[in-house]
Structure 1
Amino acid sequence: MTRLKHYDNLNTARFVTFGCYNNLPLLTDDREKEIFLKHLDNGRNVHNFKLLGYVLMPNHVHLVIWPSADLKLGLVIGEIKSLSAREILGLWQDQNRGILKELVNRRGEKNRHVFWKRRCYDHNCRTPDIVREKINYCHDNPVKKGLVESAGDWGWSSYNWYLGRKDGPIAIDEFGI
């Protein structure tokens, strides 16, 4: 398969999407979501990018980030995915979770468990209006998928942060919506 091209050093926000292996709903428990957000926050601090918006869905993630000038987006997202997958899969192995049977992928001579799809998609947000559109898309996603009736009812997005509730699971960097 061809690799998706990531354009770096654009000095714009990026809308990033990536999914769980085989579109399985692997982000259903709060613990797994907390683990992912911990690694996202650590990645933000280590690699100096701004998190402008996000949503964690059962089978995928959307992020709106503003990368630093020298950030290699694909590598950083890969690192966040790798670290979060290792921790979640380790937790599931300790718990002997049955879902692990569905997460086996053969590479060469080895079978291994996978959590995320290999690729991520990113969109260059060229204007503040497009940034707002993508943040709103994140917030509307749980409603469109029928998970909640109102965006504020979904605790795993930046929606409530933008309403002034700063006690959410991860801080958002100010964008000025």
Structure 2
Amino acid sequence: MQPFRRSYRRLYIPGGSYFFTLVLEDRRQDTLTRHFTALRQALLYEKQRHPFTLLAWVVLPDHLHMLWRLPAGDDDYSNRIRRFKANFSRQLTSNETISRSRQNKAERSIWQRRFWEHLLRDDQDLRRHIDYVHYNPIKHGHAERAGDWQHSSFRYFVEHGVYPADWAGPAQ
């Protein structure tokens, strides 16, 4: 029997909505929040060249979660993710930590090689993942309230009446 990793098959659905998790190779780093502007620029660059709708996102020091909807007839999220990761990595200075394993193979990427993807099945699944994204800074101890974390789409959702400003905050 092959290991799970080799037999894993991604679902490619044209016009599908997906939840993604991308993780740094070195989970002890804060590269993503420290270089948030460059990360955002890399995402916008990819979005302009190969359109998709960014439904929600959160960026934590060592990983990020995004929800995307692809255009009708388009199922190519893997190449978008690959280019996004590469564009961000190229913008960084050479003093970012590269794992010994990657150094031995002459690889420069700061990212884990793979990423997690989940096809969002329906509106309830979408809503559950949007909540998960916005709760993530609290879960990882980076914020007391969802609104305290600046590297997410939470404030956009508050401005558009989806969440109250005190959603997922400490009990009053």
TM-score, length basis structure 1? 0.78
Structure 1: which 5+ residue stretches go unaligned? 166-177
2:128 to 127, 130, 133: 133
User: Per-residue deviation at 1:113?
Assistant: 2.6
CA–CA distance in structure 1, aligned partners of residues 116 and 99 of structure 2: 24
Give the aligned residue type for 2:102.
N
Cα 1:161–1:112 shift into 2, 3 Å: same
Query: Counterparts in 2 of 1:3-152, with a 5 A limit?
Result: 4-25=8-29, 26-29=31-34, 32-68=35-71, 69-88=73-92, 91=93, 93=94, 97=95, 99-100=96-97, 102=99, 105-106=102-103, 108=105, 111-152=106-147
Identity of aligned residues (%): 24
Q: What is the CA RMSD across the aligned residues, in angstroms?
A: 2.1
CA–CA distance in structure 1, aligned partners of residues 110 and 100 of structure 2: 7
CA–CA distance in structure 1, aligned partners of residues 11 and 154 of structure 2: 28
1:175 aligned partner: none
Aligned length: 154
1:156 aligned partner: 151
User: Per-residue deviation at 1:112?
Assistant: 3.5
Give the conservation status (yes or no) of the 8 Å contact 2:146–2:154: yes
Structure 2: which 5+ residue stretches go unaligned? 161-172
CA–CA distance in structure 1, aligned partners of residues 137 and 148 of structure 2: 9
User: Per-residue deviation at 1:11?
Assistant: 3.2
Cα deviation per residue 1:138-157 (whole Å; 9 max; x = unaligned)?
10000111111000000000
User: Per-residue deviation at 1:28?
Assistant: 3.6
CA–CA distance in structure 1, aligned partners of residues 111 and 98 of structure 2: 15
Question: Higher strand fraction: Structure 1 or Structure 2?
Answer: 1
CA–CA distance in structure 2, aligned partners of residues 150 and 19 of structure 1: 23
Give the aligned residue type for 2:120.
C
CA–CA distance in structure 1, aligned partners of residues 36 and 100 of structure 2: 18
CA–CA distance in structure 1, aligned partners of residues 145 and 69 of structure 2: 27
